[in-house]
């Protein structure tokens, strides 16, 4: 008997998922496969990053005479090129581009979807070999098919997302993406160059005991936030406190741990950043969509992140995200102090 479990590739999985919806056209699946292709190309360069000094400094020219690109520029240009060739995507918005980019060729103007992404989040961690990632959001466009996409396509609330996820370039390279139905994780099998289903139907533990925040900013936090951190550090054997503190400083890595082990990741507003640091449209919303699909919660401190109406493409948003018990507790502390103040 063949004891080998059949590997299910990302392509096979997305096709199987499409079959569950007779009316589905497979375009969304095609975009997911295209993002997977782009991220495999990015992964190849990320793996070489440590060798750049041997292979030639960034900014040098390689054997093809091509300018050696900074990794985040390479990641951005690769995602744009692959999605432009996909003919399933009408345009993109990126953390690296001030404005959204319309694909105006005769095929792309008829495409139903737009994609927003942070091409290489946490890239400052490359030098210390910490995990980094690509974060993506996929919306059905609201502008007229057959014409170029418009700004409104990229300013939709997160609750309108069709799919969202990330690729983490870590000890292994994984793609994790969510639709409204489920969250599934795919590990890159380098020997065949395919993302293979390794974490089906992922769920965020309802109760967590890990809190993740840049504690160095504590002096700038609200009194409520400081009280919540004191609560996390307080000894209470019955409630399993003190909780453990983990912070990698790379959102994709901190979120991947939170999804799998439970806990809470926070980047709150503080005295110098009224809306925190992380971007709503291509960091907070995709992670909020994914964590809710996995049974967790995501708040900006006053409302569900997915219900925030974006006003600007690159606007920031405070984020409390992860296990329900900790998100609700953190928001309660933040609001209690606000009412007392």
Name the residues that contact ligand P6P, by CB under 6 A. 121-122, 124, 214, 249-251, 254, 277
Strands 210-212 and 244-245, by their bridges, are parallel
CB of 268: closest distance to ligand P6P in angstroms? 11
Q: Which residues face 134 on adjacent strands?
A: 167
**Nearest one of 338, 80, 83, 306 to 178, comparing CA atoms:** 306
Residue closer to ligand P6P (CB basis): 28 or 168: 168
Nearer to ligand P6P, 122 or 286 (CB): 122
The C-alpha atoms of residue 261 and residue 205 are separated, in whole angstroms, by 7
192 Cβ contact partners less than 8 Å away, ≥ 6 residues apart: none
Which CB, 88 or 121, lies closer to ligand P6P? Answer: 121
Backbone angles phi, psi at 320, to 5 degrees: -125, 115
| Interstrand relation of 89-94 and 101-102 (parallel, antiparallel or unpaired) | antiparallel
Contacts with 306 (C-beta within 8 Å, 6 or more apart), sequence order: 157, 158, 159, 161, 285, 288, 289, 292, 298
Shortest CB 86 distance to ligand P6P, Å: 26
Q: Give the shortest CB-191-to-ligand P6P separation in angstroms.
A: 30
Residue 187 Cβ vs ligand P6P, minimum distance, rounded to whole Å:
21
Cβ closest to ligand P6P, residue 108 vs residue 222: 222
- Cβ-based nearer residue to ligand P6P, 254 or 292: 254
**Minimum distance between the CB of residue 209 and ligand P6P, rounded to whole angstroms?**
20
């Amino acid at each position: 008997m063949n004891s080998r479990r059949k590997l299910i590739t990302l392509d096979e999985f997305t096709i199987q998922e499409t079959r569950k919806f007779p009316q589905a056209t497979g375009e969304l699946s095609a975009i997911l496969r295209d993002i997977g292709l782009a991220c495999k190309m990015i992964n190849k360069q990320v793996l070489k990053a440590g060798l750049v000094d041997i292979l030639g400094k960034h900014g040098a020219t390689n054997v093809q005479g091509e300018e050696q690109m900074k990794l985040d520029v390479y990641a951005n240009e690769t995602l744009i090129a692959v999605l432009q060739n996909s003919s399933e995507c009408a345009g993109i918005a990126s953390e690296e581009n001030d404005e959204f980019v319309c694909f105006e060729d005769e095929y792309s103007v008829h495409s139903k979807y737009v994609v927003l992404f942070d091409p290489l989040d946490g890239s400052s961690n490359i030098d210390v070999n910490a995990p980094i990632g690509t974060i993506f959001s996929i919306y059905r466009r609201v502008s007229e098919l057959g014409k170029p996409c418009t700004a409104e396509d990229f300013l939709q609330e997160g609750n309108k997302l069709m799919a969202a996820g990330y690729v983490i370039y870590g000890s292994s390279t994984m793609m994790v993406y969510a639709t409204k139905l489920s969250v599934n994780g795919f590990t890159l099998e380098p020997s065949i160059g395919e993302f293979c289903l390794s974490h089906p139907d992922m769920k965020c533990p309802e109760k967590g005991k890990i809190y993740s925040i840049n504690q160095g900013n504590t002096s700038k936090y609200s009194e409520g936030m400081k009280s919540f951190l004191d609560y996390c550090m307080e000894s209470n054997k019955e409630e399993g406190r003190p909780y453990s503190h983990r912070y990698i400083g790379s959102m994709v890595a901190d979120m991947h741990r939170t999804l799998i082990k439970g806990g809470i990741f926070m980047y709150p507003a503080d005295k110098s950043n009224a809306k925190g640091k992380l971007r709503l449209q291509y960091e907070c919303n995709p992670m909020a969509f994914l964590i809710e699909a996995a049974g967790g919660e995501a708040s900006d401190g006053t409302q569900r992140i997915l219900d925030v109406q974006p006003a600007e493409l690159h606007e920031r948003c405070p984020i409390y995200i992860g296990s329900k018990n900790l998100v609700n507790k953190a928001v309660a502390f933040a609001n209690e102090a606000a009412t007392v103040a």
